[in-house]
């Protein structure tokens, strides 16, 4: 067979999910045609067909590192980012996404930047994430990409400034300007959540209700139904809920209020702290912990999924509020006020 016929045979075997046949025919091809221009294409099929994430990354990496003029080199690197994203390897994903952005412009430029933004968010590097998000907005004006970029930007604002004026302004821009985008369901949920936390139950109920009515199959709709049930005690009614000037002006520049009410207790050993996270890896949590080494209390706690960092120790909410403000102003970290108590055997954390 010619090298083209071998390549077609490999493709056919891959479609039939014949792992042994793919491997055997590819080996024969490499032996008979060591200088064929189709070698990277066969390697790409092997990488696509690989079941092990580690082996798949290794095979894609060969295409990226060894075949610098291969037309699908950017695709191979994009696939590496996809796998690293699924494995929550945020540092690796960020590094490879940056490498992808240095390649000649292609169809995956916006995808690389979204991978980079998402990785930076998970790494807690919100300043860099915001900068990359703005670059994405400036570079890609496709309707759904713009909406998605603003949604991600709102998430960054939420984690750095809380339910702030900048945050609700961004949510309003999404709700008004991107009503036909894929990002509208989560936008409606975030609107309902914002109003609920502000005690504006009519507006919250209305946003949640529109979400359930307009997008019954959306993941956010199921959560919205739970929140609607919780609002029933307030006897809410349908009202207009798009944020106006009054709502936006009433929001703080940095919202430093605790998001969850902290119950009182007579436990003498109880104290207040700031919760930061969750972090997907212990190494990342320890990295942030190292940056905050000048605080008087830093406790790393393993969660059911990931890790949380508790920073600062105060006898009351007024004392710990100073720590919260300092974290927000000096480090760009919008932590949550929690109350920690214990009975000598277990610790109880209120406010998460």
Q: Are residues 135 and 173 in the same domain?
A: no
Give CA–CA dist 176/194, Å, rounded.
Answer: 16
Q: Are residues 132 and 53 in the same domain?
A: yes
Strand order in the sheet with 347-350: 298-302, 307-314, 271-279, 336-342, 347-350
Q: Are residues 128 and 49 in the same domain?
A: yes
Q: Are residues 345 and 288 in the same domain?
A: yes
Q: Are residues 200 and 326 in the same domain?
A: no
Q: Could you tell me the two tokens for 11?
A: 């493709």
Residue 307, helix vs strand vs coil: strand
Strand partners, 307: 279, 302
Q: Mean pLDDT over residues 49-59, rounded?
A: 93
Q: Where are the beta strands (DSSP E) in the chain?
A: 271-279, 298-302, 307-314, 336-342, 347-350
Higher pLDDT, 296 or 115: 115
How confident is the model at residue 261, as a pLDDT?
42
DSSP letters along 131-161, please? HHHHHHHHH---HHHHHHHHHHHHHHHHHHH
CATH of the domain at 234: 1.25.40.10
Q: Are residues 200 and 125 in the same domain?
A: no
Q: Are residues 126 and 176 in the same domain?
A: no
How confident is the model at residue 159, as a pLDDT?
82
Strand partners, 147: none
pLDDT tens-digit profile of 116-161?
A: 999 998 888 888 999 999 999 999 999 999 999 999 999 999 888 8
Confidence of residue 262 (pLDDT cuts 50, 70, 90): very low
Q: Which of 264-268, 309-313, 328-332 has the highest mean pLDDT?
A: 309-313
**Nearest alpha-carbon partner for 149 in 159, 135, 163:** 135
Give CA–CA dist 299/296, Å, rounded.
Answer: 10
Where among 219, 250, 281 does a domain terminate?
250
Where among 220, 250, 280 does a domain terminate?
250
Residue 116, CA distances (Å) to 4, 120, 145, 163 in order: 37, 6, 15, 24
Indicate if the pLDDT at residue 258 is higher than 50.
no
State how many domains the chain has.
Answer: 3
Where among 202, 218, 250 does a domain terminate?
250
Q: Are residues 278 and 212 in the same domain?
A: no
Q: Are residues 40 and 113 in the same domain?
A: yes
Q: 138-155: b or e for each residue (b if 16 or more CB lie within 10 Å)?
A: eebeeeebbbbbbbbbbb
Give CA–CA dist 339/344, Å, rounded.
Answer: 16
Indicate if the pLDDT at residue 9 is higher than 50.
yes
CATH of the domain at 315: 3.30.70.1070
Residue written as token pair 């003029």 = 69
Give CA–CA dist 187/193, Å, rounded.
Answer: 10
Give CA–CA dist 221/170, Å, rounded.
Answer: 21
Task: Indicate whether 144 belongs to any domain.
Answer: no
Give CA–CA dist 171/180, Å, rounded.
Answer: 15
Indicate if the pLDDT at residue 237 is higher than 60.
yes
Residues of the chain above pLDDT 70, percent: 92
Q: Could you tell me the two tokens for 100?
A: 């992808």
Q: Which stretch of 29-43, 112-126, 233-247, 331-345 has the lowest confidence by average pLDDT?
A: 331-345
pLDDT tens-digit profile of 323-349?
A: 888 888 888 888 888 888 765 555 666
Q: 21-50: b or e for each residue (b if 16 or more CB lie within 10 Å)?
A: ebeebbeebeeebeebebbbbbbbbbbebb
Task: Indicate whether 154 belongs to any domain.
Answer: no
Q: Are residues 21 and 124 in the same domain?
A: yes
Give the structural domain span for 317: 271-350
Indicate if the pLDDT at residue 40 is higher than 70.
yes
């Amino acid at each position: 067979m010619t090298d083209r016929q071998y390549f077609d045979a490999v493709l056919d075997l891959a479609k039939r999910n014949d792992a042994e046949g793919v491997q055997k025919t590819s080996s024969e091809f490499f032996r008979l045609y060591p200088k064929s221009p189709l070698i990277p294409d066969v390697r790409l099929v092997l990488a696509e067909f690989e079941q092990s994430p580690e082996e798949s990354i290794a095979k894609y990496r060969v295409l990226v590192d060894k075949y610098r003029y291969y037309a699908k080199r950017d695709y191979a690197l994009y696939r590496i980012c996809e796998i690293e994203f699924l494995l929550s390897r945020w540092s690796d994903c960020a590094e490879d996404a940056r490498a992808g952005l240095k390649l000649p412009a292609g169809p995956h430029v916006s995808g690389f930047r979204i991978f980079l933004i998402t990785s930076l968010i998970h790494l807690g590097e919100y300043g860099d994430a915001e900068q990359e998000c703005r670059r994405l907005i400036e570079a890609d004006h496709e309707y759904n990409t713009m909406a998605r970029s603003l949604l991600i930007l709102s998430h960054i604002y939420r984690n750095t400034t809380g339910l702030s004026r900048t945050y609700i302004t961004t949510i309003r821009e999404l709700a008004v300007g991107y009503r036909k985008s894929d990002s509208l369901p989560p936008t409606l949920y975030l609107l309902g959540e914002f109003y609920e936390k502000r005690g504006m139950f009519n507006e919250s109920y209305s946003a949640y209700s529109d979400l359930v009515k307009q997008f019954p199959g959306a993941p956010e709709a199921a959560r919205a139904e739970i929140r609607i049930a919780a609002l029933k005690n307030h006897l809410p009614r349908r009202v207009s809920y798009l944020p106006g000037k009054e709502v936006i002006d009433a929001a703080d520049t940095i919202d430093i209020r605790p998001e969850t009410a902290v119950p009182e207790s007579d436990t003498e050993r109880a104290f207040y702290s700031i919760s930061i996270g969750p972090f997907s890896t212990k190494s990342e949590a320890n990295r942030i912990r190292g940056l905050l080494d000048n605080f008087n209390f830093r406790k790393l706690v393993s969660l059911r999924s990931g890790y949380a960092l508790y920073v600062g120790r105060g006898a009351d909410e007024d004392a710990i509020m100073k720590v919260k403000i300092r974290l927000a102003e000096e480090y760009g970290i919008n932590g949550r006020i929690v109350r920690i108590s214990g009975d000598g055997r277990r610790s109880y954390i209120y406010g998460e």
